[in-house]
Amino acid sequence: MKKDIHPRYRPVVFQDVSTGYAFLTRSTIETKRTTEWEDGKEYPLVTLEISSSSHPFYTGTQRLLDSAGRVERFQRRYGLARD
């Protein structure tokens, strides 16, 4: 294998920001944030918007998002002409 052409493959903590669920796995993703894991060691931290602990398909619940009036706001903002 050639030297210095592959990214570092190391343990990384991924954390869901909406539920706080975190898991430790190996990855090549780069991040400047770190966190202390349950074993007392420091690991790079990557935050996630959605994971299996917050995704509606896995949890069976639906989170409500404020989407009312999106079409009207779009039409007002961009001034779509009605014929």
Rounded to whole angstroms, the Cα distance separating 81 from 48 reads: 40
φ, ψ of residue 73 in degrees (nearest 5) = -60, -40
Supply the range of the domain harboring residue 31: 1-62
Q: What is the mean pLDDT of the chain?
A: 83
Q: Is residue 70 part of a domain?
A: no
Q: Is residue 22 part of a domain?
A: yes
What pLDDT, on a 0 to 100 scale, did the predictor assign at position 77?
81
Q: Is residue 67 part of a domain?
A: no
Question: pLDDT tens digits for 46-74?
Answer: 999 888 787 766 666 765 555 667 777 77
What is the tally of structural domains in the chain?
1
Q: Is residue 52 part of a domain?
A: yes
What pLDDT, on a 0 to 100 scale, did the predictor assign at position 73?
78
Q: Is residue 77 part of a domain?
A: no
Q: Is residue 40 part of a domain?
A: yes
What pLDDT, on a 0 to 100 scale, did the predictor assign at position 66?
54
Q: Parallel, antiparallel, or unpaired: how do β-strands 42-48 and 34-36 relate?
A: antiparallel
pLDDT tier, 29 (very low <50, low <70, confident <90, very high otherwise):
very high
Q: Is residue 8 part of a domain?
A: yes
Q: Is residue 76 part of a domain?
A: no
